[in-house]
Amino acid sequence: MRKNIVAGNWKMNYNIEQTQQLINDLKTSLERVTYSARVLVAPTFVNLSAAVSSTKGTSIEVAAQNVHQAESGAYTGEISADMLQSVGVKTVIIGHSERRTYFEEDDTLLKEKVKTALAKGMEIIFCFGEQLDERKSGNHFSVVESQLKNVLFDLDVNQWKQLVLAYEPVWAIGTGETASPAQAQEMHAFIRNLISKAYGEVVGNSISILYGGSVKPANAEEIFSKADVDGGLIGGASLKSADFTAIVTASKS
């Protein structure tokens, strides 16, 4: 049975004191509620070690926002999988829409990153999704299919156990457009069917597919109630403990 996951991507926000304060607030607020989802937070690189220490002994897991494709070398400013693991990080986000857009990370590069992270035994939250023009032109299904097949569909079936998928409708994030829960379910069902066709229904039905389209406390329960939505990758709402806790408790059991 696939697991529901709520992951907070903190992006380039909060210094170490603010990070520790948010973690402490989350620990307190999560202790007061009942929830069944896995909970992850992804602080900036320089705060990962402190975050791992602060969450020790709790149900909160720490993920990284990115990783370099090389194991080591002359790549100034980059972070390797070994470095992440050395501070206790076991999960990494790869392919986030902001990495694709601002840093021009394409399928070829992402495939290398995925290969390296998997070889190191890391869990990957792999992000993908269409832009506004691709949605309006009706190409959203083909774009998502291409992003998945180009990067993931030559993996061994056993490697899919290390994957979590995160669908990001980029057109519904900060554009004034709104993605409905029905649209989320439609795409998630499409994704699950693609995987089932390629790897069998056991894999298709066991992979967790998160939704990353501006989930907030007000819409989380309705979105998470959809059959093929297994939680969310949360951006802005994860920066406030009360909002993030509300989203965590909205995830179905």
Active site residue 68: no
Catalytic residue of the set 68, 96, 140, 188:
96
Q: Give the Cα separation of 184 and 220 in Å (integer).
A: 12
Query: Do the beta carbons of residue 193 and residue 204 sit within 8 Å?
Result: yes
Overall residue count recorded for the chain in this entry? 253
Catalytic residue of the set 98, 105, 134, 168:
168
Which of 52, 86, 65 has its CA nearest to residue 13?
65
What single DSSP character describes residue 209?
E
What single DSSP character describes residue 162?
G
Active site residue 98: no
For the beta carbon of residue 153, count every other beta carbon within 10 angstroms.
12
Which of 241, 236, 232, 253 has its CA nearest to residue 29?
241
Active-site positions? 96, 168
